[in-house]
Amino acid sequence: MVYLNIPVELCKYALSKHLISQIRVYVFLKSKCSGQIKLPKELIELYSKELGFKSSKTFKNHLIWLLVNKWITYNSKSGNYHIKGFLAVANKLKFICRKGAIFEPLDFENFKPFIIAAVIKYYMQLKSRRERRSVYVKGCTRKNRPNPASFTLPHLYLSKILNIPKSLAAHYRYIAVKSGFISSKHSYELLNIPSSEKEQFKKYYCDYKNLRINKKKLALQKNDILISNIVLRTKNGFKKNLKRKENFCTVK
């Protein structure tokens, strides 16, 4: 089955720069050829319908953006468009993350939730590794170490990564969950306090907004546990002069 290994940082770039539609067209064209393609009027109209655009004008506008930014070049003699590879674009934009997300099947109707889920998957794994490393350095017992299969990614964390409002980050995660790329479940920390003492407890607990009743006892609602079915793989071939880092955004 045909698939594309889309750089995770390209997904992040699309979301943080609000260029989802332009990059969707770029990835779509990459899926249609091995690098060279002709785009007669009839084919543009067909591709516009496949992408769900109301008119071919939208497709042409995004194509112009890709030409201006040199992600695509045009040869006037042959009439061919050259679609640059992911690595060429990554080097042009100085990406430093070598991870890619496997886009299979090539479902461009769900392209937006896919790239959202890809970014969430990468960063929740990165966040989990940092937390496990921190616990290991502190010398905690094995029983107290975080479960590597359990991931969390608060909206505030995602909003800082993408440099977007927290409300938009929450909406993005909702889209990824609704599409099925990510599943989430609530997480609670049970307190040894009867539910009847809820009002009394609220007087002394400043963050009581996260207070819930679970099994007739008070519980604190923690960040949701996230599970993703996105597959990440390492992409080789980045320029040697790019600094190789595990993380491409300093969020703590």
pLDDT range class, residue 76, cuts 50, 70, 90: very high
Q: Is the pLDDT of residue 199 over 80?
A: no
User: Which residues form the domain of 69?
Assistant: 4-117
Is the residue at 102 inside a domain? yes
**Helices (H) and strands (E) in the chain — how many of each?**
9, 9
Is the residue at 165 inside a domain? no
Is the residue at 233 inside a domain? no
Q: What is the pTM of this model?
A: 0.80
Is the residue at 30 inside a domain? yes
For 199-230, letters b (16+ CB in 10 Å) and e give eeeeeebeeeeebbeeeebbbbeebbbbebeb
Q: Considering only 90-104, 122-136, 174-188, 234-248, which range has the smallest mean pLDDT? A: 234-248
Is the residue at 198 inside a domain? no
DSSP 77: T
Is the residue at 57 inside a domain? yes
Q: Structural domain tally of the chain?
A: 1
Q: Is the pLDDT of residue 34 over 80?
A: yes
Give me the CATH number covering residue 60. 1.10.10
123: Cβ contacts below 8 Å, ≥ 6 apart = 153, 157, 158, 161, 249, 251
Is the residue at 122 inside a domain? no
CA distance 6 to 232: 9
Structure token digits, residue 76: 């006037």
